[in-house]
């Protein structure tokens, strides 16, 4: 049984759904009559939740601010408090995103971001490394889910990769950054289309997509590069520079935020349970389609995994 460790930015997601039927008399803005409020743990926590729902043990590690205590009960049930290691950094603010969504057409009206995206402190970095030293072994799958909110610093990324190499563990990465050389020699890197375009500009890769993927695999010494392409499916290239693609599944889109997290989690679990990369990507593609059609409360489950 693989030992999953998910490290990254915790983002608390609040979704406020309602009906818009009139304009405010106070200002030319729509009035939302609130019908439902959903609080969800997002960011890197999505990956942890998908893995746990697929009946595998996962430990989630992140850094929060000292405002987290008053937010905890709104976002964490007793069940989700298991296997969570949160390092509290004084003076830091926990990321909270609030989305206002109209029910009739599921249009986002506005989003409020209340967060601190600066790098975590050296003390927080050291606390994370000390936790990992006690946990990492050859059966570990370490997943770095980097929303560029300050947890996965350059120094921390380098130390995690080094620690994994010493333990013969595998590192999976999903990052919002264009500076991905901090993840050199990881097992798998999974950018989306937008992130890949930023990466190719930073490193001046070729103009043809398959060749760009091959160049990035060589540049970073990756075992696998997996690029999610939205309506164009998923593209994968391995260390031998062999590539394949999986077409997207047409579905009604309710929510895109977090779909990439489901892909990363499912690929890791599929590989851990003996699937090859092609089957793993195909399963992840199927589950991502279900995720975007249901929304942020959906977690991958065994029934979907075995379809």
CATH number of the domain within which 189 lies: 3.40.1190.20
pLDDT of 247: 87
Q: What's the pLDDT score for residue 255?
A: 54
Residue 214 CA to residue 283 CA, distance in Å, equals 23
Q: How far apart (Å, rounded) are the C-alpha atoms in residues 64 and 267? A: 27
Write down the pLDDT at residue 296: 60
**Nearest to 229, CA basis, from 271, 263, 254, 255:** 263
Strand partners, 164: none
Confidence (pLDDT) at 292: 58
- Cα–chain-centroid distance for residue 150? 14
Distances (CA, A) of 260 to 26, 49, 98, 218, 288: 40, 13, 20, 23, 7
d(CA 128, CA 41): 20
29-40 residues labelled b (16+ CB within 10 A) or e (exposed): eeebeeeeeebb
Domain that holds residue 172: 3-305
The residues facing 65 across adjacent strands are: 89
Structure tokens at 196: 């890949």
> C-alpha angle 231/236/239, rounded to 5°?
165
Output the six-digit token pair for 195.
Answer: 């992130």
The catalytic residue positions are 261
Alpha-carbon 181 to chain mean position: 19
79, 103, 29: which is closest to 295 by C-alpha? 103
Question: Which pLDDT belongs to residue 103?
Answer: 86
Reading the chain (307 residues) residue by residue, the pLDDT tens digits are: 789 999 999 999 999 999 998 999 999 999 999 999 988 888 999 899 889 988 899 999 999 998 888 888 888 765 556 689 999 999 999 999 999 999 877 788 899 999 999 999 999 999 999 999 999 999 999 999 999 999 999 999 999 999 999 999 999 999 999 999 999 999 999 999 999 999 999 999 987 899 999 999 999 999 999 999 888 889 999 999 999 999 877 655 555 555 778 899 999 999 999 999 999 999 888 887 776 556 666 676 676 666 5
Check residue 248 and give its pLDDT: 77
Check if the beta carbon of residue 25 is closer than 8 Å to that of residue 15.
no
Residue with tokens 């746990």: 52
The total of structural domains in the chain comes to 1
């Amino acid at each position: 049984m693989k030992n999953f460790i998910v490290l990254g930015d915790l983002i608390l997601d609040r979704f406020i759904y309602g009906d818009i039927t009139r304009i405010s008399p106070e200002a030319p803005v729509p009035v939302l009559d609130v019908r439902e409020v959903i609080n969800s743990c997002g960011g890197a926590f999505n990956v942890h939740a998908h893995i746990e729902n697929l009946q595998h043990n996962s430990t989630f590690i992140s850094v929060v601010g000292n405002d987290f205590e008053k937010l905890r009960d709104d976002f964490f049930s007793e069940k989700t408090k298991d296997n969570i290691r949160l390092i509290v950094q004084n003076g830091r603010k926990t990321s909270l995103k609030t989305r206002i969504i109209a029910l009739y057409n599921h249009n986002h009206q506005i989003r409020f971001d209340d967060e601190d995206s600066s790098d975590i402190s050296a003390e927080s970095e050291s606390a994370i490394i000390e936790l990992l030293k006690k946990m990492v072994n050859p059966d570990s799958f370490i997943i770095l889910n980097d929303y560029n909110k300050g947890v996965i610093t350059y120094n921390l990324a380098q130390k995690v990769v080094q620690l994994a190499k010493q333990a013969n563990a595998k590192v999976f990465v999903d990052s919002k950054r264009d500076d991905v050389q901090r993840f050199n020699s990881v097992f798998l890197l999974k950018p989306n289309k937008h992130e890949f375009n930023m990466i190719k500009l930073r490193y001046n890769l070729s103009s043809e997509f398959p060749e760009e993927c091959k160049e990035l695999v060589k540049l970073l010494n990756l075992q696998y590069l997996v690029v999610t392409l939205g309506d164009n499916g998923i593209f994968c290239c391995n260390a031998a520079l062999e590539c394949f693609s999986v077409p997207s599944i047409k579905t009604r889109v309710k929510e895109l935020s977090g779909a990439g997290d489901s892909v990363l989690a499912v690929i890791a679990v599929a590989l851990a349970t003996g699937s090859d990369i092609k089957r793993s990507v195909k399963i992840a593609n199927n589950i991502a389609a279900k995720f975007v059609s249901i929304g942020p409360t959906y977690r991958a489950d065994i029934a979907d995994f075995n379809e």
